[in-house]
Amino acid sequence: MTQLLGAALRGTGSCLPARVVPNDEFTEVLNLDTTDEWIRTRTGIRERRFAGSGESSATLGTDAARKAIESAGLTPADIDLIVCATVTPDLMCPATANLIQAALGCRHVPAFDIAAACSGFLYALSVGAQYVRTGAAKHALVIGAEVLTRTVDFTDRNSCILFGDGAGAVVLSGTPVLTAGVRTIRLYSDGSRQELIQVPSRVTPNPPPGPPQLQRLDYMRISGREVFRFAVTRMVELIEQARADARELGLSGIDVLIPHQVNQRIIDAALESTEFPADRVVVNLDKYGNTSAASVPIALDEALRAGRCKPGDTVLLVAFGGGLTWSSALVTL
């Protein structure tokens, strides 16, 4: 019988592109019919980062991973598994995780991508945690890396103002202490609502007629209002469920909540409904917008480095997005 281990969160890292894009740029440079005031009051976003020339999910993910490995006190040679969550891979093949493996100089360990949109990091974390808990990997590198701004339609004011680029990473390590690290992970999906958030690919079954250069095949499309309602409902459910999980595990409660960074109004509505104290919630969407699979690990890394959470704290990570997917993880630091 396999002796289960704990999956401790041993290190974190993040990487944001240098280029800051304030709200005004959509009006002044892109001539979009929007305002800084609308974007700030309807979303909470003030600015976001855009990947520049030479930057990609793989390069941002590599930088975040390097920092996570360093903060874990390890070297790339110690890593036994690489899982990268992304819906904006550099290539359809090979996986972004392979590119990161090569850039870091890791051993010939398993490396693969997971596509679960904004829930991707928590899906990847569940895989990393299972490898570590069963002893199949001693140190698992789990990354969320995205360059979603390369998929948005800059003439669509409903969506293009929401997104930013970036990457976050964690190292999970096996520990005999079963009460440390990842305690519970809950993952859900509902493919019947797939049309609410889509980024078509070049291998779509229904390519429109016409020359490829005129086809706006891979632009993201979202139904913002419907996603808003879905996000609030699911975030409320996930918080309530995590509270019950925490009680069952004998934890004193949830010390810090790190939600997917989509829209301040979604977070506020969920907090109001669950009466979760706002001062225990980590929010950085004002600086980075929605970075999809990267949003939770970036916020986690920043929160740890800023002392917003400390060893012994129980942190609730919550995410939701395309699929539709929704997910949570309770982690004791």
Q: What DSSP designation does 208 have?
A: P
Tell me whether residue 152 or residue 170 sits nearer to ligand UT7 (CB atom). 152
Q: What DSSP designation does 126 have?
A: H
Pairing of strands 111-114, 197-198: unpaired
Among 82, 185, 262, 315, binds ligand UT7 (CB under 6 A): 262
- At residue 147, the 3 state secondary structure works out as strand
Catalytic residues: 118, 260, 290
Least distance (Å) between residue 255 CB and ligand UT7? 25
For position 228 contacting ligand UT7 by CB under 6 A, the verdict is yes
Contact region with ligand UT7 (CB under 6 A), list: 38-46, 59-67, 236-244, 276-284: 38-46
- Distance, CA of 128 to CA of 105 (rounded, Å): 19
For position 222 contacting ligand UT7 by CB under 6 A, the verdict is yes
- Distance, CA of 68 to CA of 331 (rounded, Å): 17
Q: Copy the structure tokens of residue 326.
A: 């929704």
Beta strands in the chain (DSSP E): 6-15, 19-22, 47-50, 81-85, 111-114, 139-147, 165-175, 181-189, 197-198, 221-222, 256-259, 314-321, 325-332
Nearest of 131, 166, 8, 129 to residue 73 by alpha carbon: 8
For position 43 contacting ligand UT7 by CB under 6 A, the verdict is yes
Least distance (Å) between residue 227 CB and ligand UT7? 3
Contact region with ligand UT7 (CB under 6 A), list: 5-13, 33-41, 48-56, 209-217: 33-41
Query: How many binding residues for ligand UT7 (CB under 6 A)?
Result: 20
Pairing of strands 165-175, 325-332: unpaired
Among 158, 179, 194, 201, binds ligand UT7 (CB under 6 A): 158
Among 42, 46, 193, 280, binds ligand UT7 (CB under 6 A): 42
The Cα diameter of the chain in Å comes to: 63
Positions 275 through 314 that interact with ligand UT7 (CB under 6 A):
290
For position 162 contacting ligand UT7 by CB under 6 A, the verdict is yes
For position 34 contacting ligand UT7 by CB under 6 A, the verdict is yes
Tell me whether residue 16 or residue 117 sits nearer to ligand UT7 (CB atom). 117
* Residue numbers at the binding site for ligand UT7 (CB under 6 A): 34, 38-39, 42-43, 118, 157-158, 161-162, 197, 222, 224-225, 227-228, 262-263, 290, 321
